[in-house]
Amino acid sequence: MSTIQATIRNTKTKGQVNLLRQNGQVPGIIYGGENPNEKISLSKKEVTSLINKDNFLSNVISMNIDGNEQKVLPREITFDTVTDEPIHVDFLRIVKGAKIILEIPVRFINHELSPGLKRGGVLNIVRRKVELRCPTENIPTELVVDLEGLEIGASIKISFIKLPENVTPTIQGRDFVIATVAAPTVVKEPEKPAEATEEASAEGETKAEGDKPPAEGEDKAKEEAKPAAEKK
C-alpha cells in the first residue's frame, strides 16, 4: 500500500489556492463516511509519483494528515489543460462495511506457457478493465488471468477469474468474455488476373524467340565457308 503525507489547508479564495499551487502543493479533498469533508494539500511531487504508478484510481492509499493516519481511495484527478500537471485530487474515505463500484484492470500472465500462443495464436483482449462492486476494505488492485495451458479457441470468461470475497461484477446474469485465444490471421496475396497472366506469358515467348542464339556449329560453318568462296 502506498503512503502520502498531507496537511489540512484553510484556503478560502481562488487566489490562496493558486498560491498553494505555485508553492509546489496540490489541493485536495477527502469525503465519505460520517465525518465532515476535509480540505487538504499534498506535495505535487508525491502526487505525480503516485499518479505515474499503475492503477492509481483503484489503489487504496494510506494518508498521514498532520500525524493522523487514514485510508483513502483516489476518485478523481483534475489536470491543468496547458501543463498537464495535477491541480486537484478527490479522495474517498475508506469506511468499513461500505461498498464501492470500481473499474479494476486485468493483467495477463504466462503468455509463453500457452500452447495456442506458441503456435501463432493471438490474444484477443475484449475487456482490459472489469467493473466490480467491492467492499472498501477489500478492493483488488488487479485481476490476474493465467494463460498457461490455453489452446487456440479458448475463451476466457469472468468465471475463469477467482474474485476476492464479497467482490462481484456489476454485470450479472451472464458469464461475459474477458479475452480469447484466436487463430492466427494469414493474409493471402491477391491473385493476378487471368488476362495479366496470359499477357506476361505471351511476352515471355516473344522475347525468347527474338533472342534465340545460333545453333551450335553454325557460326563455325560460316567462317569456314568464307575462304572457300574467296578462292573461287
Nearest to 26 by CA among 69, 93, 74: 74
Give pLDDT tens digits for 142-182.
999 999 999 999 999 999 999 998 999 999 999 999 999 99
Query: Can you tell me the mean pLDDT for 200-218?
Result: 52
Query: Can you tell me the mean pLDDT for 137-143?
Result: 88
Q: With 60 as the cut, is the pLDDT of residue 188 above it? A: no
**What local confidence, expressed as pLDDT, does residue 211 receive?**
52
Q: What percent of the chain has pLDDT over 90?
A: 61
**What local confidence, expressed as pLDDT, does residue 228 receive?**
47
Residue 162's SS3 state is coil
Query: Can you tell me the mean pLDDT for 133-143?
Result: 89
CATH code assigned to 100-182? 2.170.120.20
Q: With 70 as the cut, is the pLDDT of residue 215 above it? A: no
C-alpha cell at 132: 466490480
Distance CA(9)–CA(181), nearest Å, equals 52
**What local confidence, expressed as pLDDT, does residue 184 receive?**
86
Give pLDDT tens digits for 89-109.
999 998 888 899 999 999 999
Q: What percent of the chain has pLDDT over 70?
A: 79
Q: How far is CA 48 from the centre of its chain?
A: 21
**What local confidence, expressed as pLDDT, does residue 30 receive?**
95
pLDDT band with cut points at 50, 70 and 90 for residue 59: confident
CATH code assigned to 2-94? 2.40.240.10
Residues 6, 7, 13: CA angle, nearest 5 degrees: 120
Q: With 70 as the cut, is the pLDDT of residue 193 above it? A: no
**What local confidence, expressed as pLDDT, does residue 136 receive?**
86
